[in-house]
Amino acid sequence: MSDRGHIELNRLVDSIVVGQRHRRDTGDLTPLIDSLKRVGLLQPVTITPDGHLICGYRRLQAAKQLGWRTLRVWVRSGLSDELTRLLAERDENTTHKPLSPLEAAKLYEELRTLVAEDADRRKRATQYGTETDETAGQPGPAESAGPAGPAGPGSGARGDARRRAAEMVTGKASYARLEQILQMERIAADRSLSPDLRALAETEIEAIRDGGAVDPGYQRVKAAERAAALTRPGDDTDLDQVTAAAIKTAQADRRRRIRENRARREAAAATTKRSTRSFTLKWAELDGWTTKYDAEQIAREITPANWAIFRRVLDQTQAFADAVESARAATSTPAAPSAPGELAAPDTREEV
């Protein structure tokens, strides 16, 4: 058994069942076949205990074309049947036509729930000592791998489930847009809310269905929700005016957060030192740069401000070169003194 939480074994190729919801368009298998011939199967395909393929369809087809009788597989029983089905549906949809934002949000919602349930089930099994060898630990790497890492009740587990589900649907850990769509759908379906607020949510959802951006519509709906919470039945307050003011405040807050985040990123970048490899690549790219420009044309067209920048960069470069030269001289190993009558070995250090 692997230490990553799955059973690894050899299985007859013909015994692996490919369901209807897996990818069928394999594309060009030649590079994969060549790799299998050269180095073998580096990552086994993943199957359920009853032999149904979870992921690795292209590897399976390449093995069949090579005439392999057996194939290394990972047997995964730590996922529920429903989660496995949804992962297969995800693979089918995302490898052909991208999901719409609303479709992605719905699949994400189902996966998020099932991921959390599976994690909670594994946690309970571990706590009460009922976990079997087949389900112990965390699942190993796979194209449709399930949740890895600890998860359980609480906000941390919910956040982990959201990230895992978002990665399964979109390939990215960010779930903000998907959660925004789901919140708008919940508002539209909540009959305890005002008809105007529900109608606005439905309008924004329809706009997203027609290709509109998610975040602006979400901000409008949330602003209207806050405005509705501030009004009382019979109040003379104009809900539209309150909503507009709330939207304006939300937009100002968003712009402020963007500026603050940008400032933090720029400050971090200003103090982060790049690697020696980055340094050598930059200068390799600049090697011979003077042959690519016409000195007379530059002299005619460059502005005084841009020429001042060029001169400043030259001065900075020379100062940095001097500092590196001093550091290289200080860290180099001094040559051993020559014996009487013996010539010292020539200095073969590379010049900068």
Rounded mean pLDDT for each run of 10 residues along the chain, 352 residues in total:
60 84 65 84 81 82 92 74 62 60 87 82 68 40 36 53 84 88 94 87 89 88 84 62 69 78 81 84 88 93 94 93 91 59 47 40
Distance CA 197, CA 212 (A): 19
Domain residue spans of the chain: 7-78, 83-210
**DSSP characters over 59-110:** HHHHHHHTT-SEEEEEE--SS-HHHHHHHHHHHHHHTTSPPPHHHHHHHHHH
Distance CA 12, CA 345 (A): 66
CB 69 within 8 A of CB 10: no
Continuous segment of H or E residues that includes residue 54: strand 53-55
Which ranges of 171-238 would DSSP assign to H, the alpha helix?
176-189, 195-209, 214-230
Which ranges of 210-275 would DSSP assign to H, the alpha helix?
214-230, 239-271
For the purposes of burial, counting CB atoms within 10 Å of the CB of 11, is it exposed (0-12), middle (13-18) or buried (19 or more)? middle
pTM recorded for the entire structure? 0.43
Q: Which residues neighbour 195 within 8 Å (Cβ) at sequence distance 6 or greater? A: none
* 3-class secondary-structure state, position 121: helix
- What pLDDT, on the 0 to 100 scale, is given for residue 146? 37
CATH of the structural domain 7-78, one choice from 3.40.50.1100, 3.50.50.60, 3.90.470.10, 3.90.1530.10? 3.90.1530.10
- What pLDDT, on the 0 to 100 scale, is given for residue 271? 78
Distance CA 204, CA 105 (A): 15
